[in-house]
Structure 1
Amino acid sequence: MEDNNQAILIAGMHRSGTSLSTNLLRESGLFIGDDLMDGGFDNKNGHFEDNEFVNLHENDLISKGYESTGLKGVEKNNFQFGDVSKPIVEDLLKSRKLYNVWGWKDPRSTLYLLEWKKIIPDLKVIAIYRDYDEVINSLDRRYKYKIKHSVNYSKFRSLGHSILYPIYSKYLQYNHYKAWVIYNESILRFKELYPEDIVLYNLSDFINNYNNNIDTINSKFGVKLNHYNVDKVFESDTLINKKNVGFKFFNKKKLEEVMQKLNKEVSE
């Protein structure tokens, strides 16, 4: 990669605030693409995901036998792109050569962090994490909304999901907790191998100290992103912080172990 072509990947588990974070970085001058995914009920201001990158990751996951979201059935991280995906990757990178500093956000990229680092040796990563219960509650609220309002479901299918919700929601909860662990372990592994090429922030810390964090990113990555007034795009009531009490359908010890490692590795 050319010296004047710096790539930045915004990593993090689904519903961890990566859309908000990427929106802020975009306002600070980071080019994240022209063909961005539209907003929806779950992200009214937009997902800030380049459709080309989303399609790349979704199709590659499907070719490996996984669900396109990367939220169910995934047992590992650090995937490698298949032969069909490789020329698409090359075309994507060629189209970004015009930009001095550019980046992208797609949560699924987190499953491919080491692969992207292999492809782009000078790749930098801004990783965002959020409490596991807050993430799983957000995913559950999204699921409830989808079946209530028949989003991507027929009315008949929505009715079936509504009836099965007490059981199926627990199945999803288990998978989502497992995905939270896998995604964040991928971030921790990258940080272990490439500590100088990643900054790691808890979502609330990233937002509340945004301009100080931009200074850190600029210094560490050798870029020139701008300060920005977070209040222009962030409404505090959009983030619901809620802990699940009682029995969890996943190993709580493992969740706490990963969370403690993330808290320990946060960037100053």
Structure 2
Amino acid sequence: MVNNKILIAGMHRSGTSLSANLLRESGLFIGDDLMNGGFDNKNGHFEDYEFVNLQEKDLRRKGFESTGLKNIENFNFEFDNQSKALIKEIIKKRETHDVWGWKDPRSTLYLLAWKKIIPDLKVIAIYRDYDEVVNSLDRRYWYKIKNKVNYDSFRRFIHKLIYPVNSQYLKYNHYKAWSVYNESILKFKELYPQDIVIYNLPIFINNYNANIDNINEKFRIKLNHFNVDKIFESDTIKHKKDNGIKFFSEKRLKNITGKLNHSADK
């Protein structure tokens, strides 16, 4: 049996949940135990708990936050031996599927590590404008404060007080994380150009079935066409540029965007 493996990569809040949902509808098996939806992804995150738990624990053992959003620059992400043993078990469970894959933004940090473990791995990478990603993360932070999501009354009060300053601090880290995640995608493209497709989120959605044809041809798989309108609500994606002061190099952000646009599949 041909056993095709697809990793759906992309920075947090880049539309990877929507993309994973569409690919699932097109016939890509992405797991049985998927993370439920929430206020930030009403239809679901489409992340298999086995992959999420694996990568969160690996990040924590390395001294990082489990989100993979802070202090991640200049680090070579490799799995430790404990994670490698679990990965073997996870892969074995999915060997009965012709085409299977997974989505977890943290996997983007480990792209080259995953490729070492799964030499025939293919990647569908989704990217989104850096301001839209960072503003989406900021809206999520404010929503959690406002609606007491994972905040008790005291913590909520403190975070309301510090929000103006803490919001800027988090934005700085999130712009940096956007750079690291998307540079990881570009590095994979440089090393394995035949094993990755890169799409800007609106282009991936608006030309979905044509893109499926492109993916099928490049990866030699058979995903199905699907009517995007059945699950996608256009107002779920906010298009908001950040015109405020950036405490992170916009030159670097624009340079990465230019490389992504140049490397992207049309």
Q: TM-score range by the shorter chain?
A: over 0.9
> What corresponds to 1:161 in structure 2?
159
- How far the C-alpha of 1:76 sits from its partner, in A, is 3.4
Structure 1: segments with no counterpart, 5+ residues: none
TM-score (norm 2): 0.98
Aligned length: 266
Could you tell me which of 261, 264, 268 is aligned with 2:262? 264
> What corresponds to 2:146 in structure 1?
148
Q: Quick one: distance in 1 between partners of 2:187 and 2:92? A: 28
Q: Quick one: distance in 1 between partners of 2:206 and 2:47? A: 23
* 1:67 equivalenced with 2:65 (yes/no): yes
* Structure 1 residue ranges, 4+ long, deviating more than 6 angstroms after superposition: none
- How far the C-alpha of 1:150 sits from its partner, in A, is 1.2
Contact 1:59 1:68 in 2 (8 A): yes
Could you tell me which of 83, 86, 89 is aligned with 1:88? 86
> What corresponds to 2:174 in structure 1?
176
C-alpha RMSD of the superposition: 0.9
Q: Quick one: distance in 2 between partners of 1:206 and 1:43? A: 18
Q: Quick one: distance in 2 between partners of 1:246 and 1:33? A: 40
Q: Give the percent of matched residue pairs that are identical in Structure 1 and Structure 2.
A: 69
> What corresponds to 1:216 in structure 2?
214
Could you tell me which of 40, 45, 48 is aligned with 2:46? 48
> What corresponds to 2:23 in structure 1?
25
Could you tell me which of 234, 242, 245 is aligned with 2:243? 245
> SS where residue 4 of structure 1 aligns?
coil
Could you tell me which of 124, 131, 134 is aligned with 1:133? 131
Query: Greater CA deviation, 154-163 or 49-58?
Result: 154-163
Q: Quick one: distance in 2 between partners of 1:78 and 1:265? A: 23
Structure 2: segments with no counterpart, 5+ residues: none
Contact 1:78 1:115 in 2 (8 A): no
> What corresponds to 1:121 in structure 2?
119
Contact 1:110 1:187 in 2 (8 A): yes
* 1:100 equivalenced with 2:98 (yes/no): yes
- How far the C-alpha of 1:87 sits from its partner, in A, is 0.8
Q: Quick one: distance in 2 between partners of 1:106 and 1:41? A: 18
- How far the C-alpha of 1:78 sits from its partner, in A, is 4.5
Q: Quick one: distance in 2 between partners of 1:241 and 1:260? A: 19
Aligned partner letter, 1:125: V
Aligned partner letter, 2:35: M
Could you tell me which of 194, 202, 220 is aligned with 2:200? 202
From the superposition, tell whether residues 77 and 123 of structure 1 become closer, same or farther in structure 2 (CA, over 3 Å): farther
